[in-house]
Structure formats: C-alpha cells, structure tokens
Amino acid sequence: MLSLVLRRVLAVVPALLGLALAAAMVAALAGPGWAPALGAVLAALPATLALVLPALVLGTGLGALFGALGGALGAVLGGVGPAMPGFLLAAIFAATLAKAPVLLGLAALTLPAAAQAATLAGRARAGAEDTVLLAARGRGMDGSALLWRLVLPLGLSAAMGGLRSAVAGTVTAAVAVESLFGHTGAGQLFVEAARAGDTGMAFAALAGMCGLTVLLGALGGALHGFIDPRARMA
C-alpha cells in the first residue's frame, strides 16, 4: 500500500517539472517583460481554475454515477457526449441568450466531462459484471453496499482513468467560455493578447493553461488508484 501511495505522489512530479519548464520558456520568449507577463498569467489562472475544477468534479462525479447505475440516462448521456464539445455548447448558449449567466458557461464545461465519465463508467460496469461484481455477490454483498463499495468506486475509477483527455477538453473550452461570457481568466487573457499581437503575453497565457492541464491530469492520475476497488482487493 505504501508503494502504491508513493507511486501516485511521484506521478505529480513530472507535471511540476513541466510547469517550471514552461515558466523558463516564457522568460526566454517574452524578453525583459517576462516577469509582468508571467505575473499576469499567474493572477488569472485561479479564475480559470474556478471554472475548470467545479466542471470536472461535477461532471466526473455525476457522469460516473449515471454510467455505473446504467439505465436510459447514462446511455443517453454517454451517447450524445462526442457531439457536444464544451466550446460548441458555450457558443450556443451565448448566441441563444443575450445575457447568458456564467453558470451556463459552467454547464457547457460540465456536460462533456459528464458524458465521457458516463461512457467510461458504463464500460467498466459491463466489464466487471462477470468478475468483480459476481464475486462480490457471491460473498453476500448486494443492494446499497454493492453500489457504494464497488459499483460507484469502479465507475469513478474508470472515469478518473480518462481524466487527462477530459481536463484537456475542459481547459480548451474554458477559453471560449471566458471570452463569450466575460469571465476574466487566463483564456480571456490569451485571446486578448493574441488580438493585440502581444506574443509574449499570449505565449505566457498558453503556457499557463498547458501547465494547468498537465497538473490537473497528473493529480487525477494520482487519485485514480486510491478509489479503484480492484486495487484494494488485490
């Protein structure tokens, strides 16, 4: 168990090294103005994180629940997921409503993450039906105990296993959400710098968002093994 914990913690180290490398590249490309550019991005990243993190938590949790439970809702959510990327949903919401609230932008980020989680959780449930779940039922586990101790952790673990792609899609869509809904963050900073031709600031914002993506993906990988019931039963 200790070695598992150590491996999960060490999995975050490459992400931290990547952040340091990104900061060095910003310093090299931005020239003498690297410090203000990097400072502006670091000040804007918490606003982006405030959009991305709740969307990932809600989307992954709800999607894993619906996918693990099965039924029509999980099937529909998983089926329509590839057809509704976050940036497209954000554009539709912003174009449909003249004064769309930021909560709709959060929903645009949450739904694709939930769709992916539902798909992965449903596959994990189907794959474990004749192995882990059958063995648990043979030991007398059923009902709510089976749901909370095996089915939901199994679905959530599968969803966390695909979190890296969900993080990348959510951070990318956050750029559109920030620009369309007037939410100040690293994404909006990137768009404004690109429009103004400020290469140093644009690269700093891009590096900050890439670093955020790598870090969140690594943290998701570190959490993956802790909630996998098969790892605890091994």
Residue range 176-204: mean pLDDT, rounded: 85
Residue 120 CB neighbours (<10 A) = 26
CB crowding 155-193: b at 16 or more within 10 Å, else e: bbbbbbebbbebbbbbbbbbbbbbbbbebebbbbbbbeb
State the angle between helix axes of 102-128 and 86-96 in degrees (0 to 180), rounded to the nearest 10.
140
* Res 144: pLDDT: 66
Q: Tell the residue number behind the tokens 């779940």, with chain if given.
A: 133
pLDDT per position as a tens digit, 133-162: 666 666 666 656 666 667 777 778 778 877
Taking residues 39-51, report their average pLDDT: 88
In the predicted structure, residue 52 carries a pLDDT above the cut 90: yes
* 180 pLDDT higher than 80: yes
Give the number of other Cβ atoms within 10 Å of residue 31's Cβ. Answer: 10
**Residue that the structure tokens 């992954």 belong to:** 60
pTM, 2 dp:
0.76
pLDDT for res 48:
92
Averaged confidence pLDDT in the chain: 75
